[in-house]
Structure 1
Amino acid sequence: MARIVVFGASGAIGGALCQWFSARQWEVLAVSRSGRPTQTDETGARWFAVDPETEGYAEALTALPGPIDAVIWAQGKNAADQVRSFDAELHRSLYEANVVYILKTLQALLVQEKLTQPSRLCLISSIWQDIARQNKLSYCVSKSALVGLVQSLVADLGPEGHLINAILPGALDTPMTRANLAPEQLAGLEAATPLRRLPSLNDVCSLAEFFCSSANSGITGQFVAADKGFSHVRYL
């Protein structure tokens, strides 16, 4: 049975990934800052509490059983800001959550020799790493940093056979999205999307499964949008 770690497992994308891989007979190690969520866990995963902002995060990762075949980073932080309201502390907190978290946890897994060789690593980024959105300054900047992160990992870990890719979701069709957007905003997004509907969590999960499975024998350093074409088409 293949073994996968999902960081950020308590979030919407992370939880969907845990369920997806568990249903396909993977052993899922779910990681969040607080461990097992308070609500009923239907993922079938084993939960671990790891907070990279604390001094003991590396020791906490030693509890993960190995060898680990694949890792997905689905953690992250979002915020609304722009240059006129720029706050350096807020900006740094997004960089810590969206970038440094990945580097810290991956370094620990490598030092502890938890990963198979080769392993398959997948980052959940966002289409907003490549295109700008109003009032999302720090989020866009931190997600853009993942381009350099992935490319550097490919250069440094490629000789060992590791495969590293990123998935760029668009605005996903989730209860939170529908709660936070007005009907006219949802209609506008759907109209601007070639397939005329928002991408789903399953779109992200199926792509992650390919990147993390043995079916991926050599694709690395790629950034693939799961947005039903939204980021590459404009209707005039």
Structure 2
Amino acid sequence: MAFVFPPEAPVAIPVAGSDDQFAVRRVYCVGRNYAAHAREMGFDPDREPPFFFCKPDNAIVPVAYGETFALPYPAETQNYHYEAELVAVIGKAGSDIALEDALDHVWGYAVGLDMTRRDLQMKMREMGRPWEIGKAFDLSGPIGPIHPVSAVGHFEKAGLWLTVNGQTKQQSDVSHLIWSVAETVAYLSKFFRLEPGDVIYTGTPEGVGAVKAGDTIQVGVERLGELTVKVV
């Protein structure tokens, strides 16, 4: 088979403690999945089921432990926000997955950042248009190494935090997710067939805010470590 242009290599995330790589297929993100964050964005978290948006696979930015990734301030925004997230990755295919079976499809977990051009997202929201220019831009998904479930178990409870220049901005626990990882996987699988390589950003707690060039962001999840980016 001949290609008009050579295909890009798959986007891959390192597996912690291994030389293996996790090839990314699709990237799903859960919107407003912590009650306090939903309220700070002006919504009632008790009135709606989970909803999803997507990022392209090449929005993913693997960040190694001990590394500070230089994250460029994106174009066309004056309000560049951080969102700390627990990320779940899929290792077993399935559709319309039963809730009691959902965690069997999760291969591992990682620390993630859903970077957001908030002003553009809000403008699109007010106009009733999709969020892509606010959420799906280049380098908008920094992520740490993936930890297999076999090594760290599942995450019904674990601290989640984010600091900017050493000052705590977000601090919560994944037990505060409105929709748990299992519920998210089961619900998402009603609409999309999940496949190995799918990545799910599970939502961010309250405390989101803007950063500027020169700021250093550190985000961590208990048992998964911490990743660091510097906005340049």
TM more than 0.5? no
TM-score under structure 1 normalisation? 0.27
Which structure's residues are more often helix, by fraction? Answer: 1
Give the structure with the larger strand fraction. 2
TM-score where L is the length of structure 2: 0.28
